[in-house]
Each structure stands twice: as structure tokens, then as C-alpha cells.
Amino acid sequence: MKPAKSTLRLGLIGGNITATRSPALHIVCGLSLGRNVTYDLLIPAELRLSFAALLAHCQAAGFAGVNVTYPHKEEAAALVVAGDPVVTAMGSANTVLFTAHGPRAYNTDYSGFVAAWRARWGAAPPGRVLLLGTGGVGRAVGFGLLALGAREVVLHDTDLGKVVALASAMRRHAAVPVQAAEPAMLRDLTGFDGVINCTPLGMAGRPGSALPDGVTGAPRWGFDAVYTPSDTRFRAQIEALGADFLSGYELYFHQGIAAFEFFSGTPITAPDWVRGVLEHQP
């Protein structure tokens, strides 16, 4: 008889994470492969540890790897050796794999957004896009837009320095026009094919929207990186303008599958079964 594989110990490091569905996703991925998985929620402030110290603790404690979320994605990319050149280019990581050669950083928000887009809209290009929020997930989605063949990307953030930094990184990566948004663009979305929310506004504990009340325009599509809850104010605004909408749940699902494959070293061969269990479907 083959010996059972050891328990795969995983976790999530972040701030506002008590409502996350990540533990369920990774545990169900493990079940699909016959693996036992534990998944801890690790909040640096509660543990009185810096992000770097908590990462080192996880490695010493025998974790296979950890996911990283707001507000530590950029710190993870700066601190950990990149396992993929695109992580260095975008300056954001959401997955850290502990290897025999030390921690390695990946970004499955990037690959997950691309996979979610293609599953929904195939080879259709994104067109001209307004991207709200240029932090960790905004960086990953911005680079995802480049991979999908966006015609132009317009960036907005309350921190203009982050806009300038991401625009510069994206221009170095691909010959696509990238510019900062003007304030009027948030009130009138005319001329944009798509609008994306990558700010924390709308997530549990952070109500609101990055778009003002009374926003006008006729975008073709919208995407909200927030998935808890799935029915955000931003989503209501975009759907009211007649746009097709891609839920943040799809990013959550695809990035999680990709991250688990890094952690386990094994491909998920039954993603539909995983989705069905998560959605309580037979």
C-alpha cells in the first residue's frame, strides 16, 4: 500500500481577511486530489509580527506556501525572489511557495484574471479600459490587460505616485498607451469599453464604490476584483449602464486553482467538480 501524502499546510497573510473564501477553495482542491489540507488565516497586526517575520515563521513551521492579499502584495514582490519574470515587472505577488532553495513569489491574480477573461469572453480583446486602483491586485490586472491585448489602459488611484509607477512599469512591458485618468472620466465613462474596480471599496467592512453616484456612459463590460460580497455597489452601477459583468468570484476561483497547483505540484484535473462543491451543486 502506498503511504499517504503528508498534510499540505497553507495559509493566507493579509489584513481584512476574516470573510475570505480561500480556505474552502484550497481544502476542496485538496479533496479533488485526495490530499488533506489545512489553511490558516494569518493577520500580521493580530500576531504582532511584521509581514517579513510572519513569512519566515510560516516557512519554519512547515507551510508549503501562503497566499498574500491586501495590503502586502507589493511588499511580497519586493521581499521574495520572483519565480516568474512577470512578478518582477509588475511588482506584485499574491502567492509565495516555500522551496528547498528558499521562498519564490508568483502572481496568480495575473494569470487568474487572464483565465477568467478567456473563460467568459474568449479571444475578444478588452479595448480601452479604465482601471480603478493601482495597488497589488490592480498591478496584476493591469498586466493581465496587456496580455489580453488591451488597446489602451487609463489608471486612477487616490495615490498619484502609484499611478505613475504602474503606468511606467506597464509601458516598459508592452507598447500600449497607458495614462492617468482625469477626474471627469470617473463621472462619464463614454469612450471606455471596460471598467475595472481593483480598490478595496465594496469588500466586507469597506462599503462604497470608486465610481461616483450618477455615473454615466455605456461600457461594454465591467469587472470587480471584490468577491465578498459579490453584489457590490460598483457592480450595480456598471450593470445599470447595460454592461456585461465579470464577477470577482471568477478571479478568486481561477487564481486559487493556479495557486494550489503551485503549492501541491499537481494539476487540478477536475476544476468543474471543485466549482460544484464550492457552489453547493450536485
Rounded Cα gap, residues 14 and 206, in angstroms = 15
135: helix, strand or coil: coil
Contact 189, 240 (CB under 8 A): no
**DSSP letters along 75-95, please?**
HHHHHSEESSHHHHHHT--SE
Q: Which residues contact 32 (CB under 8 A, 6 or more apart)?
A: 268, 269, 270, 273, 274
Cell digits for 29? 482542491
Other Cβ atoms within 10 Å of 119 Cβ, number: 12
Cα torsion 64, 69, 73, 79 to 10°: value is: -40
Rounded Cα gap, residues 23 and 116, in angstroms = 20
Rounded Cα gap, residues 47 and 233, in angstroms = 32
Cell digits for 63? 507551510
Angle, in degrees to the nearest 10, between helices 22-32 and 248-264? 50
Same fold, 8-107+251-278 and 110-248: yes
pLDDT value at residue 228: 86
**What are the domain boundaries of the chain?**
8-107+251-278, 110-248
What residues pair up with 101 in beta bridges, in sequence order?
A: none
Contact 22, 12 (CB under 8 A): yes
For the chain (282 residues), the mean pLDDT of every run of 10, in chain order, is 75 92 96 97 96 97 96 95 96 96 97 97 98 95 98 97 97 97 97 97 91 98 93 97 97 97 97 94 50
pLDDT value at residue 190: 98
Reported CATH class of domain 110-248: alpha beta
pLDDT value at residue 281: 54
pTM of the model: 0.92
Kindly state the helix (H) or strand (E) to which residue 212 belongs, with its residue range: none
Fold (CATH) for 8-107+251-278:
Rossmann fold (3.40.50)
